[in-house]
Structure 1
Amino acid sequence: MKIHQISTILFAILTLFFGNVLSAQTVRKTAQGINFSAQQLDISVQFYSSNTVRIYKTPKGRPYVKTSLAVTAKPEKTALIFAQKGKNYMIKSKEIQVDVNTETGGVYFSDLSGKQLLHEKDYGTQFSALNDGGTPSFKVRTGFLLDKDEAIFGVGQILDNKFNRRNSAHHLQNENMSTYSPFFHSVKGYAVFWDNYSISEFNDNPQELSFESLGHCSDYYFMYGGNADGVISKIRALTGKAPMLPLWAYGFFQSKERYNTQEESLDVVKKYRELKVPLDVIIQDWRYWPEFNKTDSAWNSQSFDQLRFPNPKKWVDDIHQLNAKLLIVTWPGFGPKTAQRKEFDSKNMIINFDTWPPNSGARPYDVFNPQALNIYWKYLNKGIFSHIGNDGWWLDSTEPDHINKKDSDFNLPTNLGSYRSVKNGFSLMHNKGIATHQRETNDQKRVVILTRSGFVGQQLYGSNTWSGDVNSTWDMLEKQIPAALNYTLIGIPNWNSDIGGFFAGRWRKGGGNKNPEFQELYVRWMQFGTFSPMMRSHGTDLPREIWNFGEKGSWCFDAQEKMIKLRYRLLPYIYSTSWDVSRNDGTFMRPLMMDFAKDKKTHDLGNQYLFGRSLMVSPVTKYQVKKWPVYLPKTSGWYNFWTNQFIEGGKTIDTDAPIEIVPLYVKAGSIIPLGPDVQYASEKKWDSLDISIYAGADGKFILYEDEGDNYNYEKGAFSEITFLWSDDNKTLNISNRKGSFKGMLNTRKFNLRLISKSAKAQETRSIAYDGSQISIKF
């Protein structure tokens, strides 16, 4: 008999037996858990599923109905067992056990073997009354007890060059370059999401881990996944799955601050095509709108200056004819002379503080008002999306920027309360408004959003967060990596940074783009960008287009071109990884603790990661190095991607790292497809793919394909081809193709290469594949 059947029977028996007892003890059983009172608190324990539990506390006799901005799931009917154990009540599902102390209010989480996962402290929740901008509210705090050596991750993108978040304290206030979420992820295979959007505090010390926020309730979700992939699956089940981005979104993006005319940006695309350097996306930064006496009073009017952008529809059409795409910037703040600002002002939908740019009078709209989201899209759609047919959005300043900041500004009202009480949810709601409205307007174009901030759940909206306006320095490049890995561990898979760093004025002395150190920094950053979910060059002070660093044939040009071309050859691997992210809750940038949690060396290792499930990258972040240390985790063998040299795991090696080489290793048992050389992502069909099989372990890879840029995949319009490698039998099995879509290849060629532990022992085969199962013996 299966465990859920046993649970259902026991549930019925114990419900009859304990029904009156629960009532006598003032513990009220509900369909999904229990309610009780302790320590002057009303407490609810509610199972959302067999592995996710919501703990909700309010001051006794002060009920509060909370509507989550991030949580989209509804509680599932879950079979539960209830029992009393002394002062504690136990609630058990088929996956976890929750014990509650009805005197102290403490909540204890365990697995089914009884092994403790997390202990909410007895007497650990506190409500302290305070005045929130004229409204009675509380400072709410809850503490937890962790194991002494338990590694935790998440909390957000924090540029402090640390990976393991133990013994750290953070003021959770989203700003440029600081993107926080009150979420931590344990190496033990569970996570906690503190569902609060106010400016908050996170603190972990030897005595406890705590969250402290503004609000009317203590509201958190405990999720048990068993491992890191399981945790990410649970937070996405709770807050939303990540949709597929289009194939072109994994190509190369070029931008700068800023292209002044439509011809300037169009010429950039033309030159990439002339040089035969791949490019998929050009981005238009700010001030394409009319400027009145340079005062920015028409800031973000979402319209075009007729002198500099005389025919924006033709501009976009010309970009499309060059087989490129356009992302265009839009901001959350509006200058006083814009039509949007006037309407928002008339309806009290402005948060009344100064935002970027300084001295312009620009102010942000109230993203927490659903009607304001509708109005924002009305203008954005009329002025840009349906007018010119752009392909995606650059949402800048989504924290948002706060100029001449005053404490009283945080008391300003929004539709959901004081600005202080909801600030960290600003980006989430702004992204949501644009993504949902675009999809309602045109369901045949996948939403692509580049945004400067984020919050748990933002993965639902096709958003890719970048790290903000970072400085162009070696130490800042180094800080990007653990920041990105912790950000992805809160469940948001899409992240990127400005290749080369945003502010590059320091490099003007000594030659600017021809400064040898800046050139090397830019190349190393591009190597990192090659193995990020979005590969995007952007910055100010110095132009970033490839020809500014030298002519074709010069080392800096060629090193960049090499990485851009590698990115495009990896598109079948990357796009299939995107499907794994969307369908299976996978992760692009996988810190090594995800796949090698039992190897404790990985718990503090935040400077290298797996890109997808097979490629391990260790970006170089120092100047003029020839060797670079790389840790090869235990339980796997590893191949140098460039030389095919095999090395057993469980040690640190010094690998060759000349300027044109990023240390890159392939896990034994991997199957890596490489596509054709192309100038843009969809230029050629994948009718002849090179498939490399790395011997030393069994392997599996699913090659995914679809129509490329619509939502038909949600209706089943896609195909999967599964490759299975049996290392003992030296046999590759290619499955029957599953599924179909318009324009699908019916036949193709696979060029197979078996790479063995001896670099010289390689076998190659070329086979025709018509969608039917085939086995190849090596």
Structure 2
Amino acid sequence: MNLRLLLFSVLTFVTTFDLMAKPPAYIKLPDGVLLYTDSLFTDVPYAVKLEVITDNIIRVTAAPGKEIVPANSLVTVYQKQAGLTWDILPSEESLVLKTKKLIATINRRTGAVTFTDLHGKKILAEKQPSGRSFQKAIFDGQRYYSLTQSFQTDGGEAWYGLGQHQDGVLNYQGQQVSFFQNNTEVAIPFLISSKNYGILWDNYSLTKAGDIRPLHQLGAMQLYSKKGEKGWLTATYANDLHNPQIVSVERAESSINMEYLGESKIRLPEEFTPASGMVTWEGMLASDLTGIHQFHFVYGGAVKVWLNGKLVLDRWRKAWNPAPAIIPWNFNKGEKVPVKIEWIPEGESYLSLKWQEPLTEDQKNSFGFSSEAGKQIDYYFVYGDNMDEVISGYRTLTGKAPIVPKWALGFWQSRERYKTQEEILATAAEFRKRQIPIDNIVLDWSYWKEAEWGSQEFDEKRFPSPDSMISLLHKKYNTQIMISVWPKFYDGISAYNNFDRNEWLYKRNIADQQRDWIGKGYISTFYDAFNSSARKGFWDLINQKIYTKGIDAWWMDASEPDILSNVSPEKRKLQMTPTALGSAAEYLNAYPLQNAKGIYEGQRATDPGKRVFLLTRSGFAGSQRYAAAIWSGDIGSTWVDMKAQIAAGVNFSMSGLPYWTMDIGGFVVPQKFEKPNAENLEEWRALMTRWSQFGAFVPLFRSHGQFPFREVFNTAPEDHPAYKSFVYYDKLRYRMLPYIYSLAGWSYHNDYTIMRGLAMDFSKDTAVLNIADQYMFGPSILVNPVYEYKQTQRDMYLPVCAGWYDLYSGKWYNAGQKIVAAAPYERMPLFVKAGSILPFGPELQYTSEKQPAIITLNIYTGADASFNLYEDEGTNYNYENGAYTIIPIKYDEKTATITIGNRQGSFKNMLKKRTFRINMITPDKARQLDLDTKCDKEVVYEGKPLIIKK
């Protein structure tokens, strides 16, 4: 060999070996460390940055190339803590960043990050070497990346949060969650683990979380017709569902894919009549994979599914308003499973079926986030000693949750809709006449003239004097009024023209001449909430037209934005293009956050002495800082839908946003309840009863829905148990205001969560991880909704603690056991944790009727107990400047001593003197819940410590 060539080869080998041997460079930064990966291990080199936010929060960003670009996040608003310190400990293989509470280790070649506690015990790790990926993408002519980050755990944990979803799933281990804002579906990109960590994924684009593997179309399975032919199912179309034997069309089909608006028109045969017909798919399914296959349905109308002769799905949803469902089925390799799918569309409707293959053992202990559009991967790892600390970390990043006005914790009455001024005043008058407690009445949409949506002006024929109406509600009936405002404008009205001149509107719907469903149909669009001037313009409009009349709160409907219902993500992006900040693909899911921001900031600037309160149909990470509560959208009025709200509300609350509610009774009603016979009427009353019992124990207590009217006096007569039950729980809610308002105070001052998954309070009890139909309301009350018709008892679990008491009877139960609890028609099972203090106030007709000069303290013994009674002025923001009080109350089990501590703080017009009535509930002394009988002890409290012996 030529000597020169040999020398060159040796030098090349040495250089290559040297490059492989040397770990990539890193740079210490004032806020963390920046590392560059080795392209031999990561295909392309990219930068990874660890940034210390607090001792228990580390931000991870990664981007192709050598640069991490500073980002102006819409989600985060944190300020860096002063005096933070940490250490960087390099080695040949890794970089270790160590704070006072957490260790993050970066592999110097792959860039993968592992999080451990201070003892080196692994908490969570990015998968390596291929857990992070950047795929080039272009949207609106701009360079983006489709981003993926996968994580690996050691198993034995459950994952919660991720917003509000309607599939009834609580623990998202092995489940896929889509982040696409839609009616009933709310995307919150925050996951929390039962192992006390959380991931906040800072990306607004179309995203999948959890099990991010692709969903397959039905045709990816092995299909067989009902005659056994391979490759398809037999689809049978009948135009008269009462005579399904008369077949209109029979054909081979290998997909069911009508998920979005307009797709059923394209894919159903022309000969079929959806309004009166029925479709049946029959045959067999098989797979070469053994294990649990997940079938994901989206449906409108009525759908039934049988697998191997077993009915596994029986659901209904109004045709225009599709819902999801997940069916797991265990396949053995090569086994043919008979399938039958029966669908009654009830008009233009929706049906989609996709599936996901079984998880491997490794995949069961992993999760990820995969987003369609972004400039770089950006997430925050939050660690805590418990799940409350993790949620506190989320709020450190995204903002505090202001305390709702006190009246918002009372009962709200709403309907779709009060059509006149007389209707709304008559309803308030009827509640007061019957002495049914109420604080808020809601005026839903269409109070404007039909052709003037977006004008924010009342139709003077139906609402001739809105100022007087509002004044009467305030002064005569002592109720607040909330009003519906949509970000929607009809083409050609004055407000539209003004916004159009300022280029504040999305114009694609106008260009498409898309008509809505009102009257003859009108062309409309939404304003661009990403435009700060447009947000101010929208506030100025509703301030001038509505707020100046005395409105108390805002109902922000269709805030997804629902420019046109049930469209695909691709269509939604077209409708939102362009946004003021950039591509709709990048900002897709953040619209409700910005929409709430405009109204919150507008009202606080206009009227700084009054608490802002927003109820919005959609939200995003950070929505809580804008005083936004979220409700679960236009859900169905079925028992299945009621049950689904339990998991939906718990997961939403565990996503870091403390104020959630739902339409008691559901929104869209099956035909059998619209014009019910005697039997169906009784079922409707039972559904309303059970739902109201549940609704009294969520953060916000409100009834709403389509006909039948939802007022209790329109549901049942006074002597009916449905009526009696509602009044009982309504009054109980008001008597519990000292407890509930304290929870609201904690939610701001201590980042507390009101509606709590059992894993939050019983983290060492693995039996609770998958319980989706029980939850804690505050620290003390175990709520167990009844969600089956004619059910008078229910199976439930009492988590491991010192013990439990039946709230009503005071009967003692040992913890850590399954029981069958009594659930008579008028009562929902409620249990109180041993070691609890429950404060009850006076009976009220509205929250501000009188101050709680007498508070009954029920002490549930068996363990030490404490409760910090929180009070403030109830309607303003003075609490932000220290105008509030805390009265610490403690019970010592060993000495049977109650201590009411020194009152901390003060505020204007606070009660300086009050009476505490004390009841002791013990395992050997059951005590009925009767707050007006003689108490065990009574003391007068004037702010100084009191010690009370049993």
What TM-score does the superposition give when structure 1 sets the normalisation length?
A: 0.94
Of 285, 304, 307, the match for 2:461: 307
Change (3 A) 1:408 1:775: closer
Q: Does 1:235 align with 2:418?
A: no
Distance 2:492 2:417 in 1: 23
* Contact preservation (8 Å) 1:356, 1:401: no
Q: Does 1:182 align with 2:189?
A: yes
Structure of higher CA gyration radius? 2
**Which deviates more, 81-90 or 691-700?**
81-90
Counterpart code for 1:392 = A
Change (3 A) 1:514 1:741: farther
SS in 1 for 2:546: helix
Q: Which residue of 2 aligns with 1:97?
A: 103
Deviation, 1:25, is 5.2
Q: Which residue of 1 aligns with 2:724?
A: 558
Matches within 5 A, 1:340-489: 340-354=495-509, 357-358=516-517, 359-386=521-548, 388-403=549-564, 405=567, 407=570, 409-411=572-574, 412-489=577-654
SS in 2 for 1:413: coil
Deviation, 1:420, is 2.3
Q: Which residue of 1 aligns with 2:49?
A: 44
Q: Which residue of 2 aligns with 1:88?
A: 94
Change (3 A) 1:357 1:693: farther
* Contact preservation (8 Å) 2:809, 2:927: no
Q: Which residue of 1 aligns with 2:487?
A: 332
SS in 1 for 2:707: coil
Q: Which residue of 1 aligns with 2:875?
A: 709
* Contact preservation (8 Å) 2:160, 2:171: yes
Distance 1:41 1:266 in 2: 64
Deviation, 1:580, is 1.1
Counterpart code for 1:191 = G
Distance 1:365 1:636 in 2: 54
SS in 1 for 2:528: coil
Matches within 5 A, 1:549-588: 549-588=715-754
Q: Deviations 1:601-650 (Å, cap 9, x if unpaired)?
A: 11111211110111111111111111111211112210000100011100
Q: Which residue of 2 aligns with 1:26?
A: 25
- The number of residue pairs the alignment matches comes to 750
Deviation, 1:514, is 7.4
* Contact preservation (8 Å) 1:474, 1:623: yes
Deviation, 1:393, is 0.4
SS in 2 for 1:725: strand
Of 279, 292, 316, the match for 2:470: 316
Stretches of structure 2 lacking an aligned partner (at least 5 in a row): 1-21, 212-358, 929-934
Change (3 A) 1:238 1:356: farther
Aligned-residue sequence identity (percent) comes to: 37
Distance 2:367 2:377 in 1: 15
Of 50, 67, 70, the match for 2:72: 67
Change (3 A) 1:690 1:63: closer
Distance 1:363 1:692 in 2: 54
Deviation, 1:356, is 8.7
Matches within 5 A, 1:597-676: 597-676=763-842
Distance 2:543 2:678 in 1: 39
Counterpart code for 1:71 = T
Distance 2:385 2:895 in 1: 32
Q: Which residue of 2 aligns with 1:135?
A: 142
Distance 1:42 1:760 in 2: 64
Deviation, 1:363, is 0.8
Counterpart code for 1:382 = Q
Distance 1:655 1:338 in 2: 58
Distance 2:79 2:474 in 1: 42
Distance 1:202 1:237 in 2: 23
* Contact preservation (8 Å) 1:356, 1:402: no
* Contact preservation (8 Å) 1:513, 1:549: no
Q: Deviations 1:34-58 (Å, cap 9, x if unpaired)?
A: 1121141122111111111111111
Distance 1:367 1:621 in 2: 39
Of 735, 739, 748, the match for 2:905: 739
SS in 1 for 2:436: coil
Deviation, 1:137, is 1.6
Change (3 A) 1:518 1:459: same
Q: Does 1:259 align with 2:418?
A: yes
Q: Deviations 1:508-565 (Å, cap 9, x if unpaired)?
A: 2434897011110111110111001110000012101111122222222111111111
Change (3 A) 1:551 1:191: same
Deviation, 1:65, is 3.3
SS in 1 for 2:168: coil
SS in 2 for 1:108: strand
* Contact preservation (8 Å) 2:663, 2:705: yes
Counterpart code for 1:400 = P
Q: RMSD over aligned Cα, in angstroms?
A: 1.7
Q: Which residue of 1 aligns with 2:293?
A: none
Q: Does 1:754 align with 2:909?
A: no
* Contact preservation (8 Å) 2:887, 2:900: yes
Deviation, 1:180, is 1.5
SS in 1 for 2:643: helix
Q: Deviations 1:106-148 (Å, cap 9, x if unpaired)?
A: 0111110101111012232211112213222211111111223
Distance 1:619 1:30 in 2: 52
Distance 2:109 2:717 in 1: 74
* Contact preservation (8 Å) 1:512, 1:542: no
Matches within 5 A, 1:250-289: 250-289=409-448
Change (3 A) 1:408 1:695: closer
Q: Deviations 1:274-293 (Å, cap 9, x if unpaired)?
A: 0000010000001111223x
* Contact preservation (8 Å) 1:356, 1:403: no
* Contact preservation (8 Å) 2:695, 2:702: yes
Distance 1:230 1:286 in 2: 39
Distance 2:676 2:938 in 1: 51
Distance 1:83 1:716 in 2: 42
**Which deviates more, 54-63 or 257-266?**
54-63
Deviation, 1:349, is 2.0
SS in 1 for 2:738: helix
Distance 2:606 2:796 in 1: 48
Deviation, 1:86, is 2.8
**Which deviates more, 74-83 or 644-653?**
74-83
* Contact preservation (8 Å) 1:48, 1:76: yes
Deviation, 1:66, is 1.5
* Contact preservation (8 Å) 1:333, 1:356: no
Q: Which residue of 2 aligns with 1:119?
A: 125
Deviation, 1:353, is 4.2
Distance 1:65 1:575 in 2: 40
* Contact preservation (8 Å) 1:278, 1:678: yes
* Contact preservation (8 Å) 2:812, 2:926: no
Deviation, 1:416, is 1.8
Change (3 A) 1:356 1:519: farther
* Contact preservation (8 Å) 1:505, 1:541: no
**Which deviates more, 128-137 or 515-524?**
128-137
Matches within 5 A, 1:201-212: 201-204=208-211, 206-207=362-363, 208-212=366-370
Counterpart code for 1:27 = Y
Counterpart code for 1:319 = L
